[in-house]
Amino acid sequence: MARNKYPGRCYCCGAWVEPGYGHFERVRNAAPGQPKWRIKCVRCASGRILTDKDPGVVWAKEAARKARKA
């Protein structure tokens, strides 16, 4: 799974997930008007607890910052 570049709610536990602190998954056969992507926090996905120094978090924050500028 790839790290999330956009914030959202974890579909498992409902926690708010900032960029880099979760993974995104594609939803197959999503109903019209429903999101085609969903986020799962890293804690639900693997049980790990991340810090701001984790390479995936650093990358996602930078990618989100660049996306806002574009």
Cβ–Cβ under 8 Å, residues 41 and 21: yes
Which pLDDT value is given to residue 43?
Answer: 93
- Cα–Cα distance, 15 to 33 (Å, whole number): 23
Instruction: Give the three-state DSSP class for 68.
Output: helix
Strand partners, 3: 23
Identity of the amino acid at 33: G
Question: For residue range 24-63, what is the model confidence (pLDDT) as tens digits?
Answer: 999 888 888 887 899 999 999 999 988 899 998 998 888 8
Q: Where are the domains of the chain?
A: 2-69
Confidence grade of residue 67 (pLDDT, cut at 50, 70, 90): confident
Cβ–Cβ under 8 Å, residues 14 and 21: no
Question: Whole-model pTM?
Answer: 0.77
Structure tokens at 16: 């708010």
